[in-house]
Structure 1
Amino acid sequence: MRLVQFTSLLLLSAALSACGLGETAATAATTANLQAQQAQQAQQQMQQLKQQVDAANVQNQQRLDDALKQSQ
Structure 2
Amino acid sequence: MKMLIALAALLLSGCGLETAGSAATVGKLQADQARQAKDNMDTMKASLDAANKEAEARNRALEEAGKN
Report deviation, 1:23: 0.6
TM-score using structure 1 length:
0.85
Match runs of 1:1-72 below 5 Å: 5=1, 7-72=2-67
> What amino acid does structure 2 have at the position aligned with 1:50?
K
For residues 48 and 22 of structure 2, the distance between their equivalents in structure 1, rounded to whole angstroms, comes to 39
> What amino acid does structure 1 have at the position aligned with 2:5?
L
Report deviation, 1:71: 1.1
Query: CA-atom RMSD, angstroms?
Result: 1.0
Unaligned runs of 5+ in 1: none
> What amino acid does structure 1 have at the position aligned with 2:17?
G
Q: What is the percent sequence identity of the aligned residues?
A: 36
- Cα deviation, 1:13-66, whole Å, max 9, x if unaligned, reads 211110011011001101101111111111111111110000000000001101
- Tell which structure's C-alpha radius of gyration is larger: 1
- Count of aligned pairs: 67
TM-score using structure 2 length:
0.90
User: Which contiguous aligned blocks of 4+ residues in structure 1 show a shift greater than 3 angstroms?
Assistant: none
